[in-house]
């Protein structure tokens, strides 16, 4: 705790410009107006120029994740404590409107991820402030904002909405129905997604809210979900985070610093997809309710057999260390597999060839009014290069055999193509919208 606070303090003192200082930059007033006249690159240069005039150090604070890069942040970057995930429906009808929306979002996202507010100083008492204000005085809290587009942005009800049909990737199609799915329209699909992750829930919410505000008249919220994991301050040993069933979740994940693995399983490469998506990826989102009360009445042995791992250590059943390779051939004296045939980890692993990058968050949304039980679960987020050869066959297996199905139900689902990262002067989505 103390460490985190002192980190934040250092960042506030050493950081380029605080949200409060940026509000004083009168020259940056009316971002939306300026962008229309000058384009995203010029606005970004203007903002950066004004920041320098304030004699601010351009060096990153220690809780700022760089916004620019080959890939968007929020995928291979360390998972923050909180997520605010939003799925949007586009109401604009022209490609130009869509383009200007992403240009404005790029400016706003680049500012907010540096811990700066969106919009001009609070000088005009006759109009609403541009920035909604709840993050004023707060640091960037490692905020990342990741944007993507769903299949319905390209074609909806058979209509080529923005003349982008020919650019729709083969992989970007609605997921097939899986056995036991209990999806609700209100948590399914979307034209655009925004994943805002931060080490502070208010910073994550502020980011999504301000982007939605900018979208007014062009896009509306379709569904949203906040999520959390244990905070890093509370976890001195930096263990693998535990899900709401008490198990370490993320042990056998892709190693994000292993470029070879990431290029093989996560990033879209030239030959795998359309050129506009090179260095992007696909995101699959599943809102999975977890029957916590039922789980809490289940014996430890049954819980461990469900996952195929020990609860305390996270090690595969019959083994000792969390990161040991699962011994799937090992049998007990009765001749049964030590890691049960219907256990989650065994079924998800399959033959070991399908790999996805999981970046899930727990959610807890009060009570399910129908049952009186806690409405809690997992906002499952996974990034993969090819959903059709990784997530889909994996989920097909899991939905038929996985013992975990006795305790969970899939309520929401969506797929998005996640844009590649950008350089300064470019805007997110530029490779698609031109």
Which positions touch ligand L6N33NVT (CB under 6 A)?
A: 243, 245, 247-252, 286, 288, 290, 307, 309, 326, 344-345, 348-349, 356, 377-378, 380, 391, 394-395, 398, 408
Question: Min. distance of Cβ 396 from ligand L6N33NVT in angstroms?
Answer: 9
Dump the DSSP string for 139-183. Answer: --TT-EEEEEE-HHHHEETTEETTS-GGG--TT-SPPPP-TT---
Which residue's CB is nearer to ligand L6N33NVT, number 67 or number 380? 380
Choose among 401, 406, 375, 400: nearest CA to 297: 406
Query: In this complex, which beta carbon is closest to ligand L6N33NVT, that of residue 130 or of residue 265?
Result: 265
The Cα 288–Cα 360 span in angstroms is 11
Residue 39: CB minimum distance to ligand L6N33NVT, A: 41
| Cβ at position 3, least distance to ligand L6N33NVT in Å | 26
- For residues 141 and 345, which CB has a smaller minimum distance to ligand L6N33NVT in the complex? 345
Strand spans (E) along 59-157: 82-90, 144-149, 155-156
Minimum distance of ligand L6N33NVT from residue 323's CB (angstroms): 9
Beta bridge partners of 431: none
Comparing CB distances to ligand L6N33NVT, the nearer of 80 and 395 is 395
Q: How far is the CB of 188 from ligand L6N33NVT (least distance, A)?
A: 15
Looking at the chain, the number of H-run helices and the number of E-run strands are 13, 11
Rg of the Cα atoms in the chain: 22
Cα distance between residue 300 and residue 43, in whole Å: 57
Alpha-carbon separation of residue 336 from 165, 273, 299, 321, 332 (angstroms) = 52, 43, 19, 22, 6
Tell me whether residue 167 or residue 411 sits nearer to ligand L6N33NVT (CB atom): 411
CB of 260 vs ligand L6N33NVT, minimal distance in Å: 17
Do strands 82-90 and 192-198 pair parallel, antiparallel, or not at all (unpaired)? antiparallel
Note the maximum CA span of the chain: 79
Whether the CB-CB separation of 315 and 204 falls below 8 Å is answered with: no
19 or 344: CB nearest ligand L6N33NVT = 344
Q: Among residues 167 and 359, whose Cβ is nearest to ligand L6N33NVT?
A: 359
Determine contact, residues 418/75, Cβ cutoff 8 Å.
yes
**48 or 375, CB closer to ligand L6N33NVT?**
375
What is the smallest separation between the CB atom of 241 and ligand L6N33NVT, expressed in angstroms? Answer: 10
Q: What is the rounded distance in angstroms from the CA atom of residue 198 to the CA atom of residue 57?
A: 23
Taking the complex as a whole, the smallest distance from the CB of residue 382 to ligand L6N33NVT amounts, in Å, to 6
Q: List the one residue out of 201, 115, 117, 138 whose CA is nearest residue 5.
A: 138
Residue with tokens 């997110």: 428
Do 219 and 192 contact (CB within 8 A), yes or no?
yes
Q: How far is the CB of 404 from ligand L6N33NVT (least distance, A)?
A: 6
CA distance 30 to 160: 33
Q: Which residue, 86 or 254, is less far from ligand L6N33NVT as judged by CB?
A: 254
């Amino acid at each position: 705790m103390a460490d985190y606070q002192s980190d934040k303090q250092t960042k506030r003192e050493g950081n380029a410009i605080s949200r409060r200082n940026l509000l004083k930059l009168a020259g940056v007033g009316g971002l939306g107006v300026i962008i229309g006249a000058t384009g995203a690159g010029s606005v970004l240069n203007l903002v950066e120029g004004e920041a320098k005039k304030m004699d601010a150090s351009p060096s990153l604070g220690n809780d700022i994740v760089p916004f620019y890069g080959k890939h968007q942040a929020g995928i291979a970057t360390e998972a923050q404590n909180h997520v605010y995930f939003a799925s949007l429906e586009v109401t604009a009808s022209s490609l130009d409107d869509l383009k200007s929306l992403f240009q404005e979002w790029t400016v706003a996202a680049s500012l907010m991820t540096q811990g700066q507010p969106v919009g001009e100083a609070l000088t005009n008492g006759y109009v609403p402030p541009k920035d909604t204000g709840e993050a004023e005085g707060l640091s960037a809290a490692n905020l990342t904002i990741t944007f993507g587009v769903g299949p319905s942005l390209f074609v909806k009800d058979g209509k080529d909405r923005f003349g982008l049909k020919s650019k729709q990737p083969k992989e970007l199609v609605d997921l097939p129905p899986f056995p036991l799915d209990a999806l609700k329209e209100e948590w399914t699909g979307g034209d655009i997604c925004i994943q805002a992750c931060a080490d502070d829930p208010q910073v994550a919410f502020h980011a999504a809210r301000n982007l939605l505000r900018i979208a007014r008249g062009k896009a509306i919220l379709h569904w949203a979900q906040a999520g959390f994991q244990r905070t890093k301050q509370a976890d001195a040993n930096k263990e693998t985070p535990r899900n709401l069933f008490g198990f370490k979740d993320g042990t056998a994940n892709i190693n994000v610093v292993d470029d070879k693995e990431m290029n093989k399983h996560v990033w879209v490469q030239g030959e795998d997809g359309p050129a506009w998506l090179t260095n992007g990826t696909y995101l699959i989102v599943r809102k999975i309710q977890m029957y916590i009360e039922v789980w809490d009445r289940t014996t430890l042995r049954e819980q461990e057999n469900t996952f195929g791992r020990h609860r305390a250590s996270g090690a595969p059943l019959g083994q000792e260390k969390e990161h040991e390779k699962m011994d799937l051939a090992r049998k007990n004296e009765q001749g049964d597999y030590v890691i049960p045939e219907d256990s989650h980890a065994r079924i998800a692993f399959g033959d070991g060839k399908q790999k996805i990058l999981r970046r899930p968050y727990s959610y807890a949304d009060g009570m399910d009014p129908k049952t009186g039980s806690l409405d809690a679960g997992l906002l499952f987020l996974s990034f993969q290069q090819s959903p059709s050869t990784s997530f889909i066959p994996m989920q097909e297996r899991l939905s038929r055999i996985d013992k975990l199905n006795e305790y969970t139900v899939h309520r929401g689902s969506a797929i998005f193509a996640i844009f590649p990262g950008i350089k300064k002067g470019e805007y997110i989505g530029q490779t698609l919208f031109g």
